[in-house]
Structure 1
Amino acid sequence: MIPYTQEHRMLQDSLRDFLNKEVVPNIDRWEKEKTCPAQLFKMMGDQGYIGVNYPSEYGGSEMDFWSAVIVMGELSYINFGGFTGSFYAHTYLPLPLINALGTEKQKQNYLKPALLGDKIAGLAITEPGAGSDVAGLKTKAEDKGDHYLVNGSKTFITNGTIGDFVVLVTRTGPKHDMTLLLVDLASSGITKNPITDKLGWHSSDTSQLFFDNVKVPKENVLGEEHKGFYYLMNNIQEERLLMAVMASYAARFAYDKTLRYVKEREAFGKRLSDLQALRHKIADMATKLEACEAITGTAIREFIENGSAATNRITKAKIYTAETAMEIINDAIQLHGGVGYIEEFGLARVWRDVRLFSIGAGSSEIMREIIGKFEIDGVVHEKLYINSRGGVNLSA
């Protein structure tokens, strides 16, 4: 999937060594405790893994987008979906928006400490009555001259409890009139309610956030006022693309584990890998996995070349990998038999964690609607409002 360079290989090797030494030995404990280890953000920041493709003046390494693919892929492959999700929600949801839209002061106060792991970030969009339908958001920011007064609530916010700040999506007018605000989570009027009983992502911090007359200074407006909806619609393509990467690598973990198992396990006097029915199942899994990796790789290349104009391809990659990864993992559990159903073996965890991918960042049903607009209605991507690595274009 990745066109390796020496720099890419060095990044991958160093990250693997770091994860195997500092993370893998602790995963089972963190999962049982349902703990998102906040110290890992600092450790990842100190090693430079948060800012691999961000500007050097804010603590990044200025590598290409493939470096982000490597980081998210390696995290996904160690079967630690909870922290991987929290890291993803920190690094690739709010930070691209700050990088593209932020003032110098905002970048110094928020982007730089986030890339160094000194602050933990989140993106607050979803509400109790509005998920995939972003236009249905009700959290309101009332213009008070030199500040906004925010009232409303958000739910399913990753890093909402342990986070230091969020990019908050607020309504400032009718329909698509929204504004993005940088909000410090220690601000007066914010209440946090952790959500701990979840199907998967046990090591991810998830929270409800309530805003009661929260005062946000105008200097914390991210980008132009009233343009937030359009910024989000462009930025979400990077979010969906990396989710396809995560799904593909999680499926690769399950497949590799299964391939080793069927070669070692014996039944009826033969290795499982010698039984024709199981050989055919492995063949199907391998074919699906290669298709996941191929469509994701194609989408990445198109995204690198065309940014959010690659929406059609990215949407296809997101829905295909989310649903096909679940099929591969389900087959992996089946081929393992009873041990596949045992918690400590790891397949149950990856099955739970990957289930979110057909819901998060836009459900599969929404993905099909978007693809239908391109393929049936002939819709063309109208405007490129934001390039998360290269600034803003409101005139396109």
Structure 2
Amino acid sequence: MRPRVGVWLFGARGSVATTTVAGAAALTHGAPPAGVVTAGPAFSSAGLVPIEDLVFGGHDVTETPLAKQVERLVAGGVLPAGLDGLISAELAAAERNLVVLPIAPTQAEVIELMAADIRAFAERHSLERVVAINVASTEPPYEILYDDVGALRSALASGSPLPGSCVAALAAFEAGASFIDFTPSTSIRPQVIRDWAVERGLPFGGQDAKTGETLVKSVLAPMFTARALPVHAWSGTNLLGGGDGATLADPRAAESKNVSKERGLVDMLGPDVAGQVHIDYVDPLGDWKTAWDHILFSGFLGVRMTLQFTWQGCDSALAAPLVLDLARLSALALERGHVGPMPFLGFYFKDPVASTEHSLSTQYEALVAWATS
């Protein structure tokens, strides 16, 4: 039997996770791998685990069956009609690997219980390695007051000093899994969490996957720089429905997202570009999102000009192939014994860990160079 890789999803019953599991199953039935970058010829020699050899499991706070989630996504046009019947066996297999987040008096105990779930998953399926990916709802910013792993361990044993995303990361590390944060939540931002990963000899990466507006920005901003066209203002409005939109309707959660979305422009164009990013929750949009951007720039002899673009897409369908890519790539990092941050995964993120590079083409070249080295 070929060695298989486990993919442990935090937020495993959400739209992104469900689309990922359903999409992976659809690919094994012959669906085209649109959006799966690692399925392209540039990665054919990288030795990545085949998608059909990924085994899915995960934690969530709810118990809504995956099959019901898939039915909802099919009804909303996120997944093709009839897919739920075609992949029923794969959904049932993944369902057996999903568990509810445990509750315990201290976060140290919660971390150990979550890690035990991941270890049991790996043992049950004789998995060669496990990669963990956070696709749960975005959290508000959270300040971690500990800068020493020993002090943090003591605090965890006596209370609950961390947000859920940090707990998820530590549970992954305790289980011997790599960790990727698909969200802008706190998780691996604090140095002490990163130190914990290094202490365990494990890789981590993220954060906040770029699937729409920011993806376009990472292509357009370098264009203005390369053509010596000064950008004066860049403003954006995002209309979101679904669970992501509902979460970001909370100004505290939106703050995490906005900081992440704006950081790339600052790094690419400098701090003097005016304008803001706005996120509005529009419930009837469901799993769909619309972004409109307005860019004011100068041409020769100071002539003012504008560029505007509109991006409309389905967030889950844009995100799911990236989750599959990140699972395969972080599994390769584990296989190679990589320890610490994975800046070569910056191609996928708005706020890439250990990297200030945001140009999509440059990030892609770095990713291919690492994967095929």
- Which TM-score bucket, shorter chain as reference? under 0.3
Q: As a proportion of its length, which structure holds more helix? A: 1
TM-score (norm 1): 0.26
TM-score (norm 2): 0.27
